[in-house]
Structure 1
């Protein structure tokens, strides 16, 4: 068995306590107000107080406000001692634009739970790169919390944030498959494939050496998925990681039924053929209803002999 990232310390945020205040911010695209209202009601029904970022209702084209305002809302939530955790409204696009405006030293001094996925991937990877804080790639307020979460999604989301004693194990019973066998431990890094690729060549890309890379995406044609994965391979990322977890690639189909294409399965097999690492596919994560929340920077075990992926170390304290 290979032990990845041995000795590298991380910052774990404080567990989510009953009745605390959750800050809500929009680092990316504007949300639909009625959906946000439903999501806030969901949190309040669970006994939490909520506090909205000052600019959460702003709109500036496809952004939820000006770059400086979106960044300052996030900084302020980390600065505010009354805020115990920070949940994002939705994804879309915009997180990469605010990365230079984030106060990473502030985050180091006041680490908190941060939840989001999709475009928020850029923010989460940047925060881990600069601070080593574990964040959570999971449900968002104006998306899953607004429309109602699937029971499995909801249960494991709250367990991950609230219970540091519980180990979460995902097995073949949950539909995962092992394309390539192996056993490895490492820090879990990744998120939306296109967003991971967008950080390459920037100061915000994390050290992927011996990490467990997890990926998903939505609405990208097969040739684009091929291009992104090829970029990761040519950049040396896929040759440096200890393991690969591939989630759901929702609506990633050819735009034309008549145009020649490859299946996603074929693309993944081609790209990973020469990689001497365990590869997991069909992992329940991504732009889908049934999914596990992923602790970005948390410790994970892949074990094909036991047919499992295990979050074997608490992501909160």
Structure 2
């Protein structure tokens, strides 16, 4: 199942460990799989709402790439501080050590940056707290199974056949995306992938639709949509309008409005994001959307 992984490196570049039950459950899982765990120096520390200075957290990631014993790098959790580490990552070192890094939510910043700067494998899906350490359930087992399947085969393995179709059509490109906030933050920087034909995957949590609209509008204005051949929207968790509750567009109408003038297909309610279902996708994997065959 684990593709002969012998050692994983755990880093905490954003939020500190708060859910120690989940953390301990994840450590138990790796022990049962006979997988050694190497912890970054800041993982079990706390500095305000993170684990260390930006340079310290970046150093942990750099050291995991440099460590020949580590096969796979896994983020502990999401948060709101990952953006700070990007300028301190050693992209030359990372490029010379072809390892996979995985996480989701705020860690999307790091995944996008590493993939853009090095082409190294980056997996969006689960992490230590929200995945390997969650309570036992069929959904957890499926999330982990799909993670290892994606890691081992390096192929698109997300079932999009049950997604709702917002816009019909055909599109083919490479998978790029994750947390909409991170995509919006990095789209006009050197830390965002430059692939010419992409299938853009995005999800959101605790964002009012008027805020989602602004982020999508910024992506449109950036010119990104000219490179998009398909869009897959994941879970929109707790995305309830409060400020303009009586006069804002329905979120589906909003997405269609923002994408007006572009002919790429759009699917919604895919099984990834801040929800129980966290199915993995790897940046750069080929994805085809054909709504006639969905």
Q: Residue 133 of structure 1 contacts residue 297 of structure 1 at CA under 8 Å; is this kept in 2?
A: no
The answer for the alignment partner of 1:4 in structure 2 is: none
- CA deviations on 1:226-269 (whole Å, 9 max, x unpaired) are 11111111111123211111111100001369543222112112
The answer for the alignment partner of 1:23 in structure 2 is: 9
Does the alignment pair 1:306 with 2:293? yes
Aligned residue runs from structure 1 range 69-108, under 5 A: 69-108=56-95
Q: Report the 3-state secondary structure (helix = DSSP H, G, I; strand = E; otherwise coil) of the residue aligned with 2:271.
A: coil
The answer for the alignment partner of 1:176 in structure 2 is: 163
Question: 1:208: Cα distance to partner?
Answer: 4.8
Match 2:210 to one of 200, 209, 223: 223
The answer for the alignment partner of 1:269 in structure 2 is: 256
5+ residue gaps in structure 1? 1-14, 308-317
Output the CA distance in 2 between the equivalents of 1:167 and 1:102: 28
Does the alignment pair 1:141 with 2:131? no
> CA 1:246/1:167 → structure 2, altered by over 3 Å: closer, same or farther?
closer
The answer for the alignment partner of 1:312 in structure 2 is: none
Q: Report the 3-state secondary structure (helix = DSSP H, G, I; strand = E; otherwise coil) of the residue aligned with 1:195.
A: helix
The answer for the alignment partner of 1:156 in structure 2 is: 146
5+ residue gaps in structure 2? none
Q: Residue 62 of structure 2 contacts residue 93 of structure 2 at CA under 8 Å; is this kept in 1?
A: yes
Question: 1:109: Cα distance to partner?
Answer: 0.9
Q: TM-score normalised to the size of structure 2?
A: 0.92
Does the alignment pair 1:284 with 2:271? yes
The answer for the alignment partner of 1:5 in structure 2 is: none
Q: Residue 19 of structure 1 contacts residue 47 of structure 1 at CA under 8 Å; is this kept in 2?
A: no
Output the CA distance in 2 between the equivalents of 1:204 and 1:171: 28
Output the CA distance in 2 between the equivalents of 1:40 and 1:34: 10
Q: Residue 243 of structure 1 contacts residue 302 of structure 1 at CA under 8 Å; is this kept in 2?
A: yes
Output the CA distance in 2 between the equivalents of 1:280 and 1:258: 25
Match 2:220 to one of 225, 230, 233: 233
Question: 1:293: Cα distance to partner?
Answer: 0.4
Q: Report the 3-state secondary structure (helix = DSSP H, G, I; strand = E; otherwise coil) of the residue aligned with 1:38.
A: helix
Structure showing greater relative contact order (alpha-carbon pairs closer than 8 Å, 6 or more residues apart)? 1
Q: Residue 208 of structure 1 contacts residue 241 of structure 1 at CA under 8 Å; is this kept in 2?
A: no
Question: 1:223: Cα distance to partner?
Answer: 0.3
> CA 1:169/1:273 → structure 2, altered by over 3 Å: closer, same or farther?
same
Output the CA distance in 1 between the equivalents of 2:233 and 2:105: 14
Q: Residue 78 of structure 1 contacts residue 112 of structure 1 at CA under 8 Å; is this kept in 2?
A: yes
Match 2:47 to one of 36, 48, 60: 60
Output the CA distance in 2 between the equivalents of 1:122 and 1:200: 10
Output the CA distance in 2 between the equivalents of 1:260 and 1:288: 27
Output the CA distance in 2 between the equivalents of 1:258 and 1:177: 24
Output the CA distance in 2 between the equivalents of 1:61 and 1:111: 33
Question: 1:43: Cα distance to partner?
Answer: 2.0
The answer for the alignment partner of 2:184 in structure 1 is: 197
Question: 1:306: Cα distance to partner?
Answer: 1.7
Output the CA distance in 1 between the equivalents of 2:237 and 2:82: 21
Question: 1:215: Cα distance to partner?
Answer: 0.4
Output the CA distance in 2 between the equivalents of 1:186 and 1:286: 20
